[in-house]
Amino acid sequence: MNDNHAIDYARYDHIRPIRWTGDALELLDQRKLPFVVEHVLCSDSDAVAAAIHALTVRGAPAIGIAAAWGVVLAARGLDAGDGAAALQALEPAMARLNAARPTAVNLAWALARMRGVLAAAGSDWKQVLALEAQAIADEDLAANRHMGERGAGLIAPGSGVLTHCNTGSLATAGFGTALGVIRAGVAQGRIARVFAGETRPWLQGARLTVWELQQDGIDATLVADSAASHLMKTGAVQWVVVGADRICANGDTANKIGTYQLAIAARHHGVKFMVVAPSSTVDMGTAHGDAIEIEQRDPGELFGVGGVRTVAEGIQAWNPVFDVTPGSLIDAIVTEKGVILDPDVAAMRAAFGG
C-alpha cells in the first residue's frame, strides 16, 4: 500500500470538460465521446442552458460550474450601475439556466452563489461574477482531491469496487467524486479491481467512465447493469462507490437511475455502499428523497443504441433518469467537510447544521 505518498495528480487527472476562454465557454461534447473528441463553444447563457439540457455537459458539479459561467455570459453587454441592478436584469437568464435540469442541486446552488455575490457587488460587478465562477470551479477541484483521499481511506487494501454512471473529471472541475476515490484508491494500492456498469440508457459508464480511466492507465472492467448482483455474489467487489445529484437532510440520495438497485443488492450481499459528493450536493432544505424532483427524459432514449433503433415502432417507454437511495442503505457519505457514517437526520445535522 502506498498511502503515505502524495497522489500524482498529473498522472491521475487528464481531462477537463469545461474551459473558460475569457469570453466564451468551451465544453467537451460528452454526447460524442469516446470516438469523437469535439468541443462546443457557448457564447451566451441560453447556449449554456441548452448544452446542460442536452447533456453536452453533465454530472452535478459540472453543470453547476457551467451555469455559473453562463451567468457571466448573460452579463456581457449588460449595462448596470451595481450588482443589485444587474441581479434584476439577469434573473430571467438565471431562471432559464436553473430550469435546464431539475434533479442536481448543484445547479441551483451555483446560481444562488452567483446571486449572492451579485447582490453585494458594486460597480465592478462583472469582475465579481467572473471571480465567483472561477472560485466555484477551483473549490470543486480541491474538494474532489480531498474526498478522494478520505474515501480511499475507508477501503481495505486488495478490494474490488463497482461504480455507476460517470463521476470523474468529465462530471466535475477535475479528478471526480466517486471516480476520485477510485483514482486515489488505485494510486494507494488499496483498490485491486474496478468494475463499471454500462449505465443505460445514456451509457455514461460504457462511453465515459472506462474511457476516462483508460487515459490514466487504470484498468476497469465494464459490466452490463444487469450483471451487478451476480458480480457481487462472486465476491469480486467489497464496495459500491457512486456520486450524487442531491443528498437530503436525512441522507436519502438522488443519483443516476440504477443506483438504488445497486444499494439494495449491495446490502443483500454484504457489500459496502459509499456516496461521494461535495457539500454543494447536500441539500439540507429537502427533508427526504420523496421531495426530490426526478428528471424524466425523452422515452426515445430507450428506443435504440448509438442512434440505431432496436425497439419496434409503437412501443411505450418510461425514462426516469435518477432514483433515490434511502440513507439507511448507505454506509458512508464522503464530502470535503467530513465523512458521515450510517447517515440519518442526526448525523447529517451534526455535519452540515440546519
Q: Which residues bind ligand MRU (CB under 6 A)?
A: 58-61, 104, 165, 167, 171-172, 177, 204, 243-245, 255-256, 321
CB of 5 to ligand MRU, least distance (A): 25
* CB neighbours of residue 194 within 10 Å: 23
Q: How far is the CB of 101 from ligand MRU (least distance, A)?
A: 7
Q: How far apart are CA 248 and CA 21, in angstroms?
A: 35
d(CA 297, CA 59): 15
Q: What angle do CA 95, 98, 104 make, to 5 degrees?
A: 165
Q: Which helix (H) or strand (E) holds 222?
A: strand 221-223
Rank residues 133 and 244 by Cβ distance to ligand MRU and give the closer one: 244
Name the grid cell of 155: 477501503
- What is the rounded (10 degree) CA torsion for 155, 217, 226, 100? 90
Return the number of the residue (75 or 334) whose C-beta is nearest ligand MRU.
334
Minimum separation from the CB atom of position 7 to ligand MRU (A): 18
Of 37, 34, 39, nearest to 51 by C-alpha is 39
Return the number of the residue (83 or 174) whose C-beta is nearest ligand MRU: 174
Which residue of the set 13, 216, 245, 323 is catalytic?
Answer: 245
- CA-based R_g, the chain, Å: 20
Q: CB 325: neighbour CB atoms within 10 A? A: 26
Q: Which is nearer to ligand MRU, 75 or 108 (CB)?
A: 108
Closest distance to ligand MRU from the beta carbon of 276 (Å): 8
Q: Decide if 257 contacts 263 (C-beta within 8 A).
A: no
User: Does the active-site annotation cover 245?
Assistant: yes
Q: Which three cell numbers stand for residue 270?
A: 454484504
The residue of the chain with the least Cβ separation from ligand MRU equals 243
Residue 43 Ramachandran class (φ > 0 left, ψ -120 to 50 alpha, else beta):
alpha
By beta-carbon proximity to ligand MRU, the closer residue of 160 and 174 is 174
**Shortest spacing between CB 206 and ligand MRU, in angstroms:** 12
Longest dimension (CA), the chain: 65
The residues annotated with a catalytic role in the active site are 245
